[in-house]
Structure 1
Amino acid sequence: MRILWLQKRLLFPADRGAKIRTLNVVRHLARWHEVTYLSNVSPEEQSHVREMRELGVRLEAIPWTEAPRGSLRFYFQLAANSFSPNPFSVAKDTDRRLRRRAVELLRSEPFDVVVCDFVQMARNATGLNTPARILFQHNVEAQIFARHARTDRGLLRRAVMWLQWRKMRRFEARAGHWFDAVVCVSPEDQRTFQREYGWTHVHTIDTAVDTEYFRPNGALEQEDRVVFVGSLDWPPNQDGLRRLADEIWPVVRQRRPHAQLAVVGRNPQRDVRALAERPGIDVVGSVPDVRPYLAGASVVVVPLWVGGGTRLKIFEAMAMQKAVVSTPVGAEGLPVVHGTHLLVADRPNEFADCVVQLLEDRSRRTELAARARELVTTRFSAQTVARQFERICQETVEAARGEVLGVRC
């Protein structure tokens, strides 16, 4: 197959879940097929162009700059979006130059399928003259805004999230119908798309993890060491860390006075950096490799009450053979069982109890961690999931060809 893949960003540095999920698929597709990766490229990403090409893709890079979150330009764009029918994230990710290049490529080369990675990129894809088109949905985007609108602090912030929810719900529902197939990442998301949007063309792939990269390395865990790993500029992670620091961590420290929490991830914002002033919290921030921090953890925590899709960070920790405590939202969409592969708790006091239980009981956390690694290594390797995506592409291309020939599929 000849695949035209539309994305907003390069996949390196692989420092957020969405990039890692796409990377796990594209890396293998590029070995089996011809993949042209059409993407915007920011000045900060220029140093990673070579890594992208080393994947085996043909890279088509369109220069682009983004207003930093929290900057005056960012808030001006957000305010201006109040008068637009499109969600802010969709308006931000729409680029006429990228779309124009897609049109040129489709006119000059015989691509079999276009993959639009995220609904935010849909305005760059809809209406293109292509034989087959697929939307890759990592989340139910409207659901994320709805959860923010219910749980965020401050009336103004909740009002903004409510407005974005309404816009995204309309846009997402309409955009998905243009594609021949939609790929999502959990049965829960599939049911939501079918129920809320009436989509009948939704396929599911599993969440993949690179089990060769994330594996136990023999390092000794540090006593009473708790680790959080995630993008620290993503609002759901920021919300979760705030609740962890305010409502959970003081209880853990009261019962385990020597407990230490390491917060690891890209681009920590001011409110996250301020958590380092709390007793027992170390905001590490961006690191080139999260594995040493996971390897040293006694417990890995996933305190999410807002979000969508599935959390790669859970499978990465499990592949490193680590005990995990998560909220139900954090583990949403993953085929994991409380008490077998991890511990799941929603209320802050219950979450704290789970963390303390595992810190106090080495054999319990060792047992959970071993079963968790067995689960991900036997069922969720990156190559296995890439084959699932490949099969959906092939079936979509064959169906589109049948329609062109007048065959009812």
Structure 2
Amino acid sequence: MRELLYLTHRLPYPPNKGDKIRSWHILQYLSRHFRVHLGCFIDNEEDWEHTRRVAGLCASTRFIDLRRHAARWRAMQALLSRQSMSVHYYRDKQLLAWVNDLLAGGGVRHALAYSGPMAQYIDGSAGRTLHRVIDFVDVDSDKWRQYADSKPWPVSLLYRRESQMLLHYERHIAQQFSAASFVSQAEANLFRLSAPLARRKTGHFNNGVDADYFAPGQPSGASPYPDGAQVLVFTGAMDYWPNVDAARWFVQQVWPALRYRHPALLFYIVGSHPAAQVRELVRVPGVMVTGTVPDVRPYIAGAILAVAPLRIARGVQNKVLEAMAMGKTVLASPQALEGIVAQPGLELLLARDEIEFIHHATRVLQQGTAQGAMGAAARHLVLQDYNWERNLQSLGAMLGVPVQAGAQQAGQPQPTQEPS
């Protein structure tokens, strides 16, 4: 079996947030086709207990403890040069030494870097002999641009600089590597506009959803909500700035009108590590902040409506796909639907501003139950287009894994000649 180096910026387990969901399913897929050598950072102390499970899928591993204070200091040092703070944040001598020792053995001929900053470890002379693929996932440089647009000066200036430096780096990596992948057609198209010299190497593969796990009616058992309550739910990692911004905007701009019309209505913000700006929202009548929960499914299943009011977003929102897989009516902003090819009015509801959020939510609440036909159409879409095993075939094609007939998605780059 061929050998492959897989580099990730976080331990790809547990799959409880967007990047870890994708990187975990990639690892499972790779382990069936390669002897995988995994190098990654661990930025959460709780993740150390999962290293044995991850190592069970790998030929070898190197786990690096990411100390945030040191990483931030490295990021600030990038300001002294024309380099990306994100790349410096994940720069580590121990991981580089492990990669170089591994490659010196000559057995590894393929490499996959998950997220842009991890490509730095195979960008040197040793990496040039490899068949290298970069899964950027999102166009992170554009995400930093969005951050800059939403922040006051001088933070906006710092973020705009990072957007420019990171785009320069992304272009360089895409041109050097055999193929560059993104999470959706929309992300790939955006990058082709930003990096035209790498357009022929740029492709995508959609995320998937475990449709058996996220299924209507799952799990059975008691609801986490008060008996008879009408609930709107917003899920996600609540220390992630786009989710923080979305929760605050919804409570400030949409919630007062909905609560006025429906005084008993509740809004649950469900997700790990809520930032202080999220926790303080509990002061608003009807708003609940749960923090980390053992299972998000009861909160989705028991809600009349799942909302995704993001104003800043790139890539694909797993929170939207998971709710759709459970047959729930989803009310989302255009930003939350980036990369999800769904028909508003048939498979979900689209709201472009607070007026439309209030209008659509009010209609659903007046009906008394979530729209069954829309939920069924949403689940059908997920089953049709968001199957992990089928979608990962496209990544396999980039790495030279034979693709089953009809499995490769349209718009994928043709893999360049592999080194012998």
Kept in 2, the 8 Å contact 1:36–1:58? The answer is yes
State how 1:1-400 maps to structure 2 within 5 Å: 1-42=2-43, 43-54=45-56, 56-67=57-68, 79-127=76-124, 128-152=127-151, 154-198=152-196, 199-200=198-199, 201-217=201-217, 219=220, 223-362=229-368, 365-394=371-400, 399-400=416-417
State which drifts further: 204-213 or 332-341.
Answer: 204-213
Deviation digits for residues 147-203 of structure 1, max 9, x if unmatched? 122223x32332222222222222222222111100111111111111111122011
Offset of residue 130 of structure 1:
3.5
Deviation digits for residues 258-294 of structure 1, max 9, x if unmatched? 1111111121111111111111111111122211211
Offset of residue 302 of structure 1:
0.8
Offset of residue 31 of structure 1:
2.7
CA distance in 2, matches of 1:250, 1:76: 42
Kept in 2, the 8 Å contact 1:113–1:132? The answer is yes
User: 2:48 is aligned with what amino acid?
Assistant: Q
- Identity, in percent, stands at 25
CA distance in 2, matches of 1:58, 1:287: 33
User: 1:207 is aligned with what amino acid?
Assistant: N
State which drifts further: 242-251 or 358-367.
Answer: 358-367
Kept in 2, the 8 Å contact 1:106–1:129? The answer is no
Matched with 2:410 is: none
Kept in 2, the 8 Å contact 1:96–1:124? The answer is no
Offset of residue 58 of structure 1:
3.3
User: 1:16 is aligned with what amino acid?
Assistant: K
User: 1:96 is aligned with what amino acid?
Assistant: K
Distance 1:302 1:138, change over 3 A: same
State which drifts further: 4-13 or 362-371.
Answer: 362-371
Distance 1:81 1:187, change over 3 A: same
3-state SS of the aligned residue for 2:137? coil
Distance 1:364 1:213, change over 3 A: closer
Offset of residue 374 of structure 1:
1.0
Greater relative contact order structure (CA < 8 Å, 6+ sep) = 1
CA distance in 2, matches of 1:171, 1:241: 32
Q: Structure 1: where are the runs of 5+ without partners?
A: none
Kept in 1, the 8 Å contact 2:84–2:165? The answer is yes
CA distance in 1, matches of 2:257, 2:58: 49
Distance 1:112 1:80, change over 3 A: closer
3-state SS of the aligned residue for 2:274? coil
Kept in 1, the 8 Å contact 2:305–2:370? The answer is no
Offset of residue 362 of structure 1:
4.6
Offset of residue 235 of structure 1:
1.2
3-state SS of the aligned residue for 1:112? strand
Distance 1:190 1:65, change over 3 A: closer
CA distance in 2, matches of 1:196, 1:100: 33
3-state SS of the aligned residue for 1:182? strand
CA distance in 1, matches of 2:75, 2:36: 34
3-state SS of the aligned residue for 2:234? strand
Deviation digits for residues 311-360 of structure 1, max 9, x if unmatched? 11111111111110110010011111100111111211211222222222
Offset of residue 117 of structure 1:
0.4
CA distance in 1, matches of 2:375, 2:37: 39
State which drifts further: 355-364 or 102-111.
Answer: 355-364
Distance 1:362 1:125, change over 3 A: farther
CA distance in 1, matches of 2:93, 2:130: 21
